[in-house]
Structure 1
């Protein structure tokens, strides 16, 4: 009774917080905006992986073989430069598009004003040093630093501010209305003219304002004051453990915890991954242990709770029909990161027996993975983005070489032994229930046994 009261009270406090986060239009727009760029980042990452595949002979071949005076490795880098190196452009457009949809205004113009406002704040110069003289020059260009991971946070802010202004001007009716008979696309273009103009004027003055500060522009200001401190906080073992603890407590109440935490935490992880990928391309040491790949490939296996370990234990060590059949049905999807069948079928939700390993196994995985990468036993994740459905062992090899695959096998095996006593406890109770049901079935009267003859 006391446990039930505690759970009810805990749930009454937690659910409103989770619902507030999951329904927040800003956080959801960030999450969906990043998803728009996901296919492009995956393709760019794989081209980077091919050109930097950890086989010395292969890397030497690509870097020393030229076609029309250009190395093969340089040809591969074209795809990476057109995707990962300008990732912030896709993200800004995606956030503007999704936020405009939630604000019930034209999503195409939402994406357009988000991108325009962001570019208006950008310094279109790159500083270079002449090697022979040491002279420092400013060259007119689109700086790759700002259209890559370093520009993401200002892009998020610019998108929300621009779309909000656009929506408010539109709601006031300050639009040019065309007569009937004008094609809809033409009418929409003219009706957006005034809102877009107001957005441009606002960001024009913002850009001028920052030019009078010591930062010089909004990009330097946001990167120094906001993005770097957040990256430093996110790039820590304690933060990762805290995020996963919160996410898995939400899972225990049937809420997709990772979806909620990702809307806040994933933008930070993406910037850390991008810096790792840039270091990989330059042949420099990888700077960040914590990144998207660390979270996706080494924290959990088979979805939240690292339930692939649970399913293997169910499949090989349990005897009740209920658990054995569920194990057979759910183990293949779990290999590809889909674990809803076991979450709701076992169930894991509101199950105090499974709660301990479900929350504990991912935290143990994170600590062990972090420590092995910290001491150099396993290479740091290289920043290559891959589909979340990539099975373990393969994903570990692509991200951290053969050592990554070995680490994944060790962690999955360790998870099996942690889950085993808990699932065996459930298994025994299910066996007793099944035996009682079978006995009750034998005592029941069948209509086939009835006779109406004298």
Structure 2
């Protein structure tokens, strides 16, 4: 099932410069990765909070009456409790998760875990002014997200710095366990980190008369607006700042509420007073929430190639219709995602301009009525203006937003492709390293990103098997006269995100997920179906099919083949069972009996990667195998006299014991000619064709047969 040919690497492009790639080929700077990982890890909490908020805030009188009447108002209390337990403490969760993610990325995570997250949480409480009379519980929720990220990152960096200072005393307790010693070792770094935060925050309190870092941050954000009055400029500035704060994980609308009230809630006699109000921004600018993210959702559903992103957007569609977009902000994520910064800011600004123009020239009535922020798109436009023109303006703004997001969704797709390729290369490398060292691969149990990727791929493989998404390609085999004499069936899995997954990895994941038998039964059935189709078209039907040891020695698989033969679904004379020489080392008396059973059914047996192994020679001597495929290393090293002599010996042995010899990796005419000169007359490789999908393979063989002059029987040995 595995392949000897390789897929070319996809061309790479430079990553978006906002977050440059790290030297180790990772996704970016370790701090940015920790922030994004922390945001993604909050997805279950955000999902629960989003749906709780949506169900509690649906602007439908019938629904609200049902909530109040059912079980004495139990549902509203339950939904409110869930909302407070999720969104109400979101900054607390983010502090812990970002610090944890950063600690995990360290070369020695045990030195930072679990002390770093706890230390970060203490620092966060200091920065939000916990205990001060001006402290607000809102700082524990979305309003405190920026402070949470700042506290988590800076405190983790400080902890790491102090942990690595060799001059600091380190206390160990003899006879204590590792966890206790790690905790004791973290005492002084934690004290120093918390002390720095306490002193720094107290300095801000004394210098600026604020409750802490969080309070100062809000005041600075509001200070950007000074004494502005309602105007197009102030509206654009408000839209820009609100969404910029959201991009960095801060609830911009709440943080800038004071600025909004001072500018737009008391417009006086300003000429734009009839245009700019709360409904202007909530209904026509924040389509789906901050960043006009409903437009992003539609752009992803329409243009993204990544099934995972589309699935997330499908889940987020329900809350997004009611302008609840936290699931997208923190789940995709949008926050701290450099690829989406420009459209996240540009889409609301353009919507502000189009709405201002439409209302100023009288195309759409001004948004005069207060509309609940959870009112769905199109309905909100009508409710705010009392005109269908309001709904049409919302639809137009949505199209503008989709157009803005579209190229950046494609750009994000390409970055995800690069990330996927890096992850896949790391997983394949891990598999190869463990196999070379003679260790069990155990990919699904591997720690860190490789293990996560392996488990995800194993689940996807199960879905692919169930949905018929796997493919069987064929690589042609030719004789010395240029006639196609058969093919090798090669498993291909075109993953929607990772492209074609390396066949050895597919087999390993199938084995670890207990689906290898199912996979190989599918391969044999599909190969039999292809062979029958080739025979009907008058083409060579002989097909080599790889089999792993666990399936080869499985009596149940042999029974499966018997039943397929009885049904007429398989013709054993069309299929050659191919096993590696390493597999033959595992042969016992019992396995020898099984081989005879395969031969008794009419199957022929092939040894792959043959290089004169003792056990393989024994079975060749017993006439168990009908063909050997030369070890690729011998063919590639054909100019080496020792490799050439080994091949000559194999050919001599083949003539004496009457089995065929086929050379793989035949990529040039010079190699083919050298092989023919020493007696090898069957070939497979890029000189003729790579592995092709079945229809392309059949067309290729038909074209070769039509182009070749009728020059009599082939001089090479037939399969």
Q: C-alpha displacement at 1:370, in angstroms? A: 6.2
**2:21 alignment partner in structure 1:** 19
Instruction: Specify the alignment match of 2:119 in structure 1.
Output: 113
Q: How does 1:149-298 map to 2 (within 5 A)?
A: 149-173=142-166, 174-213=168-207, 214-225=209-220, 236=239, 267-268=247-248, 271-272=251-252, 287=282, 289=286, 294-298=291-295
Query: Which protein has the larger Cα radius of gyration, Structure 1 or Structure 2?
Result: 2
Structure 1 residue 40, shift from structure 2 partner: 0.5
CA contact (8 A) 1:270 1:291 kept: no
Are residues 103 and 224 of structure 1, via their aligned partners in 2, closer, same or farther at CA, if it must alter by over 3 Å? farther
Contact 2:291 2:347 in 1 (8 A): no
Q: Distance in 1 between matches of 2:29 and 2:119?
A: 22
Distance 1:371 1:54, change over 3 A: farther
Change (3 A) 1:12 1:92: closer
In the other structure, the counterpart of 1:28 is 33
Kept after mapping to 2: 8 A contact 1:33/1:98: yes
Match of 1:81 in 2: 84
CA offset at residue 181 of structure 1?
Answer: 2.8
Aligned counterparts, 1:437-448, within 5 A: 444-446=704-706
Matches within 5 A, 1:97-136: 97-104=100-107, 105-125=111-131
How many angstroms does 1:144 deviate by?
Answer: 1.4
Distance 1:184 1:273, change over 3 A: farther
**Which residue does 1:303 correspond to in 2?**
300
Q: Which of the numbers 37, 55, 59 marks the counterpart of 1:50?
A: 55
Given the superposition, is the C-alpha separation of residues 170 and 372 from structure 1 closer, same or farther in structure 2, using an over 3 Å criterion? Answer: same
Distance of aligned partners of 1:336 and 1:91 in 2 relative to their CA distance in 1, 3 Å threshold: same
Change (3 A) 1:175 1:289: farther
Cα 1:383/1:90, change in 2 over 3 Å: farther
Cα offset for 1:295?
A: 4.9
Distance 1:211 1:51, change over 3 A: same
Q: Distance in 2 between matches of 1:29 and 1:292?
A: 25
Deviates more, 1:159-168 or 1:83-92: 159-168
CA distance in 2, matches of 1:331, 1:155: 31
CA distance in 2 between counterparts of 1:217 and 1:44 reads: 28
CA distance in 1, matches of 2:377, 2:143: 27
Which deviations, in whole Å up to 9, do the C-alpha atoms of 1:377-429 show, x marking residues without a partner? 99999589xxxxxxxxxx9799999979x9499849x97xx99xxxxxxxxxx
**Which residue number corresponds to residue 250 of structure 1?**
none
Partner residue of 1:344? none
Change (3 A) 1:17 1:208: closer
Map residues 378-397 of structure 1 onto 2, 5 A cutoff: none
How many angstroms apart in 2 are the aligned matches of 1:293 and 1:337? 18
Bigger CA drift: 104-113 or 285-294? Answer: 285-294
- Structure 2 counterpart of 1:60: 65
- Could you say what secondary structure the match of 2:21 adopts? helix
Aligned to 1:260: none
CA deviations on 1:193-220 (whole Å, 9 max, x unpaired) are 1111112222222233233222242221
Give 1:364 deviation, angstroms.
Answer: 10
Question: 1:55, CA displacement in angstroms?
Answer: 1.7
Distance 1:118 1:333 in 2: 33
Give 1:94 shift.
Answer: 1.6
Equivalent residue, structure 2, for 1:4: none
Gaps of 5+ in 1: 1-7, 128-137, 241-263, 277-283, 309-329, 339-359, 385-394, 420-436
Q: Normalized against structure 1, the TM-score is what?
A: 0.54
- Higher relative strand content: 2
Q: Which residue of 1 aligns with 2:683?
A: none
SS of 1:160's partner is helix
Give me the CA root mean square deviation. 5.4
* Residues 287 and 293 in structure 2, CA contact (< 8 A), matched pair in contact too: no
Q: Is the CA contact (8 Å cut-off) linking 2:103 and 2:113 kept in structure 1?
A: yes
Deviations 1:94-141 (A, max 9, x none): 2211223334442422211111111123333576xxxxxxxxxx7xxx
Report the Cα distance in structure 1 between the residues aligned to 2:195 and 2:343, rounded to whole angstroms: 53
Gaps (5+ residues) in structure 2? 1-10, 226-234, 257-277, 314-341, 384-390, 408-696, 714-719
SS of the residue corresponding to residue 65 of structure 2 reads: helix
Distance 1:333 1:120, change over 3 A: closer
- Hey, what does 1:450 align to over in structure 2? 710
Cα distance in structure 2, aligned partners of 1:364 and 1:212: 38
Question: Counterpart of 1:245?
Answer: none
**Contact 2:49–2:87 at 8 Å: present in 1 too?**
yes
Bigger RCO of structures 1 and 2 (CA < 8 A, at least 6 apart): 1
Q: Distance in 2 between matches of 1:217 and 1:206?
A: 9
Q: Which moved more, 1:24-33 or 1:99-108?
A: 99-108
1:361, 1:117 → 2: CA distance? Answer: 33
Determine the C-alpha separation between the residues in 1 that align with 2:49 and 2:38: 18
1:380–1:400 contact (8 Å) kept in structure 2: no
Normalization by structure 2: what TM-score? 0.37
Q: How many correspondences in the alignment?
A: 326
**C-alpha distance in 2, partners of 1:221/1:363?**
24
